[in-house]
Amino acid sequence: MRAAFAILACFIAASLVRAENHITWEITPPVCGPGQPFRLQVRIESDDILGGANQVGREIKPPRGMVLRYSGQVFRANATEATLNFSGVAPEEEGNYVLPAFNARFPSQVVLVPAITLIVSNKTGYRKEGRARAELVLPERTFYVGEKIAGGVVMRGSEQETVTGSFGLECEAEGFTFQTEGSSFTQPLQDGLGLMKPFDLTPIRAGQSEFSLSGIMLVNTGDRISSLNISGRDRPFNFRRKLTVEHVPETGRPADWGGSIGKLEITPPDLSNRFPEVGEPIKLKLTLVGEGNLERIIAPEIPGTDTWDIALASELRQRRSEGRRTFIYTLVPRLPGDLKTPAVRFPTFNPDSKKFETVEFVSVAVKVSGNAPAKVELVTIDPSAKVGTPAAKMITGLLTPTVAAGVKGVAKIEPLAASQPFWLSNTGALVALLLATAVISVVGYFAAHPEFLIRRRARANLRRARAAAQDAYRRQDYAAYARAMTQGLRTGAAPLLKAEPLALTQSDILRALPTASPTLIEAIFLAADGEKYGAKDPRQTIAEDAQLQAMLNTLEAQL
């Protein structure tokens, strides 16, 4: 019986517990201009299935001057949430207008929506009437080479002329680089009647130059051409402004300044493991946020210490518009104990205050366990890298240079291969060697074959003898003719018989000239040597000059 009562009590208690409702709302825009249309969305979340709301419009009592209409419910069957949409027009006077609490009646329950306040202000830039116009948003100050200037074109519309888009943005500015996030990237203004086209401008040289920006915005004039077509028109805009650019001042510039210009802020350093062992790599993630040329900052060097080996493991590249930059370092503890990660400073130049400022990532306490090894090698592999990816490049830092004074160096670093004397001397030596080789070879050849020179010499002597004979023939000097002709025959026959010329007799000549006339040869020898032996008249031999010349020719041809 007692158990039955307990079960009944539980059942009654469960049925008496009311469902908890959670109600939120959103007004778009959050702050309205006088007479500006707005949208109110009320979201109800319940523990029960809600279903469709009934007669919501009748429950609402908007304040004086405000028009509000219930425009429907986003309905989903068997859902425990409901979204009620209202559209309205803000009052014409500034102030806070309270929409009284009202009931939303659902089939399962009645939900009380609390009072909602609408703020109406003239400062929203909302215009009920007027032409759409474009405004250039660019700081009015001196710019610095290398900084990133965030600018934009605000295209404001009105109820009559709504800006729906823009295209053809062009910039003409010498000494600047101009970048946008993309032709389609625009941000809607809060009042929903205009657009904002952001851009980045980076000066690349000092001086004064004219900045010119032009483009076209698409304006919806609201004239209805047909049931499906609403008329619109292109409206161009153009801005010109003189900009002054200077270099970042050198006075007060920190030595470790890495080119950062802007207003930087730091986030707390993120350490992958606060309780590593000796030699176990951990990752230190440092993230910079803020306005400035974050993408141009050079990763600072963190030199290794007695307690840490440090390497720049990787760098998270964010999109330019994200306004943050992250450097990740790999730290390897060398020694056990309570250590602190090194503090990292980022000097930056603030273009507004025109001064250098420094942000610093503070040290993080780390408790290192294990024993101190004799030597801890610098880690070469990023522990977070996927398998198969190449190891990250390591930082070793610059070594401290030492320069000895008074050491003579070279005026110009040129290779020996570019030296003309080197090649000239080598070429000269090679040519001389080849010439010497050729000469020695020729001389050696003639030394090995002396017959060439002997015959050559005999040929020359034979020609001289023939010339002497011809000369004697003209002078009718019979004895001289016979001597010259005999000498010619002896000289010509000697190499053929490998004998000395003076040793040759008539019979020897006949051995060299078998076809010659023995009588004629004997006659010429007798005429030449006739004085010794009582020779015949040598005139007879002169008469045979043609035959004798033929003999000499035969001998010369054989040489």
Partner 1 sequence: MSRYLSLLALWVLGATAPLQAGVGEAAYERGDFVGALQTWRAQAEADGVTAELLSAIGNAEWKLGHKGRAMICWERALLLSPRNPVALAGIKHALGAGGTDRPTQTWSENYAAFLGADLWLILGAIGFWGTLLAVLVPKLRRQTMGDWTQRILITSATLFALSIPGLYGAYTLASRAVVRRTDVPVKLTPTVLGEALNGTAEGDVLRTGRKLNGHTYVTSADGKGGWVKSTELEPIWGGALPVNLDQPRAP
Tell me the one-letter amino acid at 130: G
Long-range Cβ contact pairs of 385-391 (< 8 A, separation 24 or more): none
Separation in Å, CA 390 to CA 42, 121, 204, 383, 434: 54, 59, 35, 12, 56
Segment contacting partner 1 by CB under 8 A, of 72-80, 94-102, 435-443, 520-528: 435-443
Q: Which of 387, 410, 502, 557 binds partner 1 (CB under 8 A)?
A: 410
Task: Please give the distance of CA 117 from its chain centroid, rounded to a whole number.
Answer: 57
Closest among 190, 232, 270 to 30, alpha carbons compared: 190
Q: Does 274 bind partner 1 (CB under 8 A)?
A: no
CB of 421 to partner 1, least distance (A): 13
- Cβ of residue 332: shortest distance to partner 1, in angstroms? 16
E-strand ranges in 254-295 read 262-266, 270-271, 282-292
Minimum distance, C-beta of residue 283 to partner 1, in the bound complex (Å) = 17
Q: Is position 78 an interface residue for partner 1 (rule: CB under 8 A)?
A: no
Q: How many CB atoms lie within 10 A of CB 477?
A: 15
Using CB under 8 A, which of the segments 77-85, 182-190, 368-376, 414-422 binds partner 1?
414-422
Q: Is residue 79 a contact point for partner 1 (CB under 8 A)?
A: no
Minimum CB distance to partner 1, residue 147 (Å): 15
Tokens standing for residue 69: 């209409």
CB of 386 to partner 1, least distance (A): 20
Does position 449 bind partner 1 by CB under 8 A? no
How many whole angstroms separate alpha carbon 115 and alpha carbon 42? 11
* Span near partner 1 by CB under 8 A; candidates 5-13, 220-228, 429-437, 502-510: 429-437
Residue number with CB closer to partner 1 (13 or 413): 413
Q: If you search the block for the tokens 């001064």, which residue do you land on?
A: 355
Residue pair 210/154 in contact (Cβ under 8 Å)? The answer is: no
State in angstroms the smallest separation of the CB of 208 from partner 1: 16
Check residue 395 for interaction with partner 1 (CB under 8 A).
yes
Q: Residue 203 forms beta bridges with which residues?
A: 176
Tokens standing for 10? 């539980």
Binding of partner 1 by 418 (CB under 8 A):
yes
Q: How far apart are CA 457 and CA 501, in angstroms?
A: 12
What angle (nearest 5°) sits at the alpha carbon of residue 520, between those of residues 516 and 521? 70
Residues 371 and 336: their CA atoms lie apart, in Å, by 6
At 504, give phi and psi (nearest 5°).
-85, 140
Q: With binding defined as CB under 8 A, does residue 421 bind partner 1?
A: no
Does 436 bind partner 1 (CB under 8 A)? Our answer is yes
Helix axis angle for 545-558 and 451-475, nearest 10°, is 170
> Whose Cβ is closer to partner 1: residue 110's or residue 391's?
391
Per CB under 8 A, contacts with partner 1 among 250-269 are 255, 259
Q: Please state the closest distance from residue 261 (CB atom) to partner 1, in A.
A: 14
Identity of the residue, 228 or 417, whose beta carbon is nearer to partner 1 in the bound complex: 417
Residue 1, both tokens: 């019986």
Structure tokens given for 59: 């429950």
Q: Is 437 a binder of partner 1 (CB under 8 A)?
A: yes
Q: What's the closest the beta carbon of residue 95 comes to partner 1, in angstroms?
A: 56
Per CB under 8 A, the segment of 232-240, 355-363, 394-402, 466-474 that binds partner 1 is 394-402
Interface residue with partner 1 among 28, 426, 507, 553 (CB under 8 A) is 426
137 versus 433: smaller Cβ distance to partner 1 = 433
Of the two residues 225 and 404, which places its CB atom closer to partner 1 in the complex?
404
- Find the shortest distance in angstroms from Cβ 150 to partner 1: 22
Q: Which among 145, 263, 133, 156 is positioned nearest to 201, based on CA atoms?
A: 145
Supply 325's token pair. Answer: 């930059």
From CA 40, how far away is CA 83, in angstroms rounded? 10
Minimum separation from the CB atom of position 240 to partner 1 (A) = 27
Those residues whose C-beta lies under 8 Å from the C-beta of residue 409, and which sit 6 or more positions away, are none
Token duo for residue 198: 């952001």
145 binds partner 1 per the rule CB under 8 A: no
Could you say which of 20, 338, 352, 414 contacts partner 1 (CB under 8 A)? 414
CA distance 55 to 59: 7
- Helices 545-558 and 478-497: crossing angle in degrees, nearest 10, is 30
CB of 444 to partner 1, least distance (A): 7
- Give the interface size with partner 1 as a residue count (CB under 8 A): 42
Q: Which range touches partner 1 (CB under 8 A), out of 14-22, 336-344, 365-373, 438-446?
A: 438-446
In the list 226, 227, 371, 402, the residue contacting partner 1 (rule: CB under 8 A) is 402
Site string for partner 1, 287-326 (x = CB under 8 A): -----------xx-x----------x--------------
User: Residue from 77, 411, 502, 557 that binds partner 1 (CB under 8 A)?
Assistant: 411
DSSP string, 229-244: -EEEEEEEEEEEEEEE
17 makes contact with partner 1 (CB under 8 A): no
Concatenate the DSSP letters of all residues of 504-544 into one string.
--HHHHHHH-TTS-HHHHHHHHHHHSHHHHT---THHHHHT
Binding site for partner 1 (CB under 8 A): 255, 259, 298-299, 301, 312, 393-418, 422, 426, 429-430, 433, 436-437, 440-441, 444
